Amino acid sequence: MAKGPRLSTLSKVAAPARGVAQRFGLLLLMATAVGLLILGKTHGDAIRQLRVMAVEVAAPVLEVLSAPVISARHAIAEIEHFWNTSRDNDALREQVSRLSKWQTIARNLEQENANLRALLKPAHDAAPVFISARVIGDTGGLFVQSALLNAGRRDGVEPGQAVTTGLGLAGRGVEVGRRSSRLLLLTDLNSRVPVMVEHSRHRAVLAGDNSARPRLTFLPANAKINSGDRVVTSGHAGVFPPGLPVGIVSSVTEGEARIQPFVDWARLEYVTVLRYRTLPAGDLTRHDDGKAARGAGNGKGASSGLNAPGAR
Q: What's the average model confidence in pLDDT over 156-177?
A: 93
Do 299 and 232 lie in one domain? The reply is no
Name which of 70, 181, 87, 71 is nearest 135 in CA terms: 181
149 located within any domain: yes
The residue among 71, 92, 122 that closes a domain is: 122
How many domains, in total, are found in the chain?
3
Do 139 and 238 lie in one domain? The reply is yes
180 located within any domain: yes
The residue among 70, 91, 122 that closes a domain is: 122
Q: What's the average model confidence in pLDDT over 159-169?
A: 93
d(CA 264, CA 169): 11
15 located within any domain: no
pLDDT of residue 261: 96
Q: What's the average model confidence in pLDDT over 100-110?
A: 92
Do 173 and 251 lie in one domain? The reply is yes
Residue 289: band (very low, low, confident or very high) from pLDDT cuts 50, 70, 90: very low
- Tens digits of per-residue pLDDT, 38-95? 877 777 677 778 777 877 888 888 778 888 888 888 888 888 888 888 888 988 999 9
More reliable by pLDDT, 214 or 34: 214
42 located within any domain: yes
Is the Cα dihedral 130, 131, 132, 135 positive or negative? Answer: negative
Do 176 and 237 lie in one domain? The reply is yes
pLDDT at 311 over 60: no
pLDDT of residue 6: 55
d(CA 214, CA 193): 11
Determine if the pTM surpasses 0.85: no
What percent of the chain stands above pLDDT 70? 77
Question: Residue 217 belongs to what domain range?
Answer: 129-275
Do 190 and 267 lie in one domain? The reply is yes
Question: Judging by beta carbons within 10 Å of its beta carbon (0-12, 13-18, 19+), is residue 147 exposed, middle or buried?
Answer: buried
pLDDT at 181 over 90: yes
More reliable by pLDDT, 19 or 67: 67
Residue 306: band (very low, low, confident or very high) from pLDDT cuts 50, 70, 90: very low
Mean pLDDT of the chain: 80
Residue 126: band (very low, low, confident or very high) from pLDDT cuts 50, 70, 90: low
Do 166 and 227 lie in one domain? The reply is yes
Do 208 and 247 lie in one domain? The reply is yes
pLDDT of residue 309: 38
9 located within any domain: no
Do 140 and 220 lie in one domain? The reply is yes
Q: What's the average model confidence in pLDDT over 256-284?
A: 81
The residue among 122, 149, 164 that closes a domain is: 122
- The CATH number linked to 266 is 2.40.10.340
pLDDT at 1 over 60: no
Do 213 and 170 lie in one domain? The reply is yes
pLDDT at 277 over 70: no
Residue 10: band (very low, low, confident or very high) from pLDDT cuts 50, 70, 90: low
Do 144 and 230 lie in one domain? The reply is yes
6 located within any domain: no
75 located within any domain: yes
Do 46 and 117 lie in one domain? The reply is yes
pLDDT of residue 296: 43
pLDDT of residue 15: 64
Distance (Å) of CA 167 to CA 132, 151, 262, 265, 273: 15, 20, 6, 11, 14
Do 173 and 294 lie in one domain? The reply is no
5 located within any domain: no
115-129, 170-184, 224-238 — which is least confidently predicted?
A: 115-129
Question: Judging by beta carbons within 10 Å of its beta carbon (0-12, 13-18, 19+), is residue 246 exposed, middle or buried?
Answer: buried
